[in-house]
């Protein structure tokens, strides 16, 4: 058995034990329903709580043995909230938290414990003027008037949220009979307009048609329509229309599935943009095709001309070399510059003339070839000069020196 020598040590021990056993408030969220606003507090485990109605219609929710994390914060009230104006949180001790709720009018609160993956406490707040009458007052009214009392909608408690099941707890301080509430919700099977009972598979869908789930159906239909799940979007849209009885502009065929003309317009504009971009990329190459072909043809013609001229010059040079070689093989020529005193006698002259008869023919052939070659070169130089080509271009084309080209041009100018 533990014994403490001082009260301070005992207090520290009790404080540590309480903090260690305290549950954590993880989040607070709000929602708007038909006739009331709901605040849901989510905890890591069951907690003790107390609801107090302060003067002026202010609701205080006291949470006992509860802590909050460093990152905990109260969210802003959504725009669809109608009754609540502000929610503030206060700490009274290490494990005592107070949530103060104020509204546009005096409020009345009713708590419901929700079972699920986490322990949740739903606080439904409505106008104080709509608070249901006490059982004693109802009994007095029935005795005095001798008329049966019809149970109002508010007497049944808060609306049912799909997926949440009330659970009984020993920490509840209110007198709400939560044991019979699941039986009412589970045994009650809504009927179709034809009067036939729904099958067990259709029962959960019909439960979504409650008044507080209309906004959820609308949001789900829009969500699945945006995500492309047309079947689910149509199903939720039909449930919403069946419940409301009129066609909502937000939940038509445009939400359930994309209209065909949008797809056609997108395809048309995509093809148009692709064609314009393709034509812009292709036009410059199309413009360059004809000039490129002309330039290629011109270059090929020039190369052919140069090749023909080179072949012609090569043939002339080969013929010249053959003539010179044939001349060298023949006997040496008699010197033309011999003095007259050394001339041989007439008989020798006649013999030499007869022997050297073929030599003048070889000389004339060589001279004619040289003349023809020179004439063609001179003629070609003059032609290229007439085409306004430079000396370097003419000399390179005819395989001549620039001095020779200049001399030919000067002599024939």
Provide mean pLDDT across the span 114-142: 73
Q: pLDDT by residue (tens digit) across 339-380?
A: 444 555 555 555 555 455 445 555 666 666 666 777 788 888
Residue scoring higher pLDDT (172 or 272) = 272
Going by pLDDT thresholds of 50, 70 and 90, the confidence category of residue 296 is low
8 Å CB contact between 83 and 36: yes
Question: Phi and psi dihedrals of 83, rounded to 5?
Answer: -95, -35
pLDDT digits (tens, 9 = 90+) for 20-70: 568 888 889 999 888 889 999 999 889 999 998 888 778 999 998 898 887
Would you say residue 4 has pLDDT above 60?
no
Taking the C-alpha atoms of residue 328 and residue 317, their distance in angstroms, rounded to an integer, is 16
What CA–CA distance (Å, rounded) separates 324 from 363?
Answer: 10
Residue 413 neighbours by CB distance under 10 Å? 7
Query: For the residues 289-293, what does the mean pLDDT come to?
Result: 55
> What does the pLDDT read at residue 75?
86
| Secondary structure (3-state) at 241 | helix
User: Quick check: 146 pLDDT over 50?
Assistant: no
Residue 337 clears pLDDT 70, i.e. is over it: no
CB 50 within 8 A of CB 98: no
Q: How sure is the predictor about 95, in pLDDT bands with cuts at 50, 70 and 90?
A: confident
Residue 182, pLDDT above cutoff 60: no
Give percent of the chain with pLDDT exceeding 90: 7
% of the chain surpassing 70 pLDDT: 55
Judge whether residue 156 has pLDDT over 70: no
Residue 302 pLDDT > 60: yes
Is the per-residue pLDDT at 108 higher than 70?
yes
Tokens representing 76 are 């802003």
Contact between 114 and 157 under an 8 Å Cβ cutoff? The reply is no
DSSP state of 252: S
| Residues ≥6 apart with Cβ < 8 Å to 288 | none
Q: In this structure, is the dihedral angle defined by the CA atoms of residues 205, 211, 216 and 218, taken in order, positive or negative?
A: positive
pLDDT of residue 320 exceeding 50, the answer is yes
- Provide the pLDDT confidence category of residue 258 given band limits of 50, 70 and 90: low
Q: Which residues pair with 70 in a beta bridge?
A: none
C-beta pairs of 405-410 under 8 Å, 24+ apart in sequence:
405/381, 408/377, 408/378, 408/381, 408/382, 409/381, 409/382, 409/385
> How far apart, in whole angstroms, are the C-alpha atoms of residue 151 and residue 323?
141
Three-class DSSP category at 400: coil
**The pLDDT value given to residue 264:** 87
Contact 48, 64 (CB under 8 A): yes
Spatial CB neighbours of 201, under 8 Å, sequence gap ≥ 6: none
Q: 192 versus 62: which is more confidently predicted?
A: 62
Determine the pLDDT at residue 388.
84
Stated pTM of the model? 0.32
Average pLDDT over residues 288-312: 66
Mean pLDDT of the chain: 70
Evaluate if residue 104 carries a pLDDT over 80.
yes
Task: Give the pLDDT score at 170.
Answer: 47
User: Which two tokens mark 158?
Assistant: 């808060």
- Least confident stretch, 153-157, 253-257, 319-323, 327-331: 253-257
Complete DSSP assignment for 108-152: EEEEEEEESSSEEEEEEEEEGGGPPPPHHHHHHHHHHH--PPPPP
Q: Give the model's pLDDT for residue 74.
A: 85
**Coil, strand or helix at 49:** strand
CB atoms within 10 A of CB 236: 26
pLDDT digits (tens, 9 = 90+) for 113-126: 987 788 899 999 88
Place 229 in a pLDDT band, splitting at 50, 70 and 90.
confident
């Amino acid at each position: 058995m533990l014994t403490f020598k001082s009260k301070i040590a005992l207090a520290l021990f009790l404080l540590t034990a309480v903090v260690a056993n305290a549950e954590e408030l993880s989040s607070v969220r709000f929602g708007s329903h038909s006739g009331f606003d709901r605040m849901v507090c989510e905890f890591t485990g069951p907690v003790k709580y107390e609801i107090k109605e302060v003067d002026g219609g202010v609701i205080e929710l006291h949470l006992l043995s509860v802590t909050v994390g460093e990152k905990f914060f109260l969210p802003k009230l959504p725009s669809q909230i109608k009754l609540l104006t502000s929610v503030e949180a206060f700490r009274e001790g290490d494990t005592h938290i107070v949530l103060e709720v104020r509204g546009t009018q005096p409020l009345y609160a009713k708590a419901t414990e929700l079972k699920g993956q986490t322990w949740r406490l739903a606080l439904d707040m409505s106008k104080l003027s709509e608070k249901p009458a006490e059982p004693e007052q109802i009994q007095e009214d029935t005795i005095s008037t001798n008329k049966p009392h019809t149970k109002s909608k508010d007497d049944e408690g808060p609306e049912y949220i799909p997926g949440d099941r009330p659970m009984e707890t020993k920490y509840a301080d209110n007198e709400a009979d939560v044991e019979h509430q699941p039986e009412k919700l589970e045994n009650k099977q809504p009927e179709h307009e034809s009067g036939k009972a729904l099958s067990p598979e259709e029962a959960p869908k019909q439960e979504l048609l409650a008044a507080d789930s209309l906004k959820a159906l609308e949001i789900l239909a829009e969500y699945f329509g945006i995500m492309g799940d047309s079947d689910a979007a149509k199903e939720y849209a039909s449930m919403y229309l069946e419940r409301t009885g009129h066609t909502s502009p937000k939940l038509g065929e445009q939400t359930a599935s994309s209209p065909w003309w949008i797809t056609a317009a997108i395809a048309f504009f995509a093809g148009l943009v692709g064609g314009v971009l393709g034509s812009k990329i292709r036009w410059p190459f199309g413009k360059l095709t004809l000039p490129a072909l002309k330039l290629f043809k011109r270059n090929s013609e020039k190369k052919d001309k140069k090749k023909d001229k080179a072949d012609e010059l090569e043939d002339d040079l080969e013929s010249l070399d053959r003539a010179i070689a044939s001349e060298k093989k023949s006997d040496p020529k008699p010197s033309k510059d011999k003095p007259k005193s050394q001339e041989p006698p007439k008989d020798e002259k006649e013999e030499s003339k007869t022997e050297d008869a073929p030599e003048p023919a070889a000389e004339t052939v060589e001279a004619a070839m040289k003349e023809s070659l020179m004439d063609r070169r001179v003629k070609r130089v003059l032609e290229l000069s007439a085409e306004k080509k430079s000396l370097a271009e003419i000399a390179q084309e005819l395989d001549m020196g620039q001095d020779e080209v200049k001399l030919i041009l000067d002599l024939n100018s």
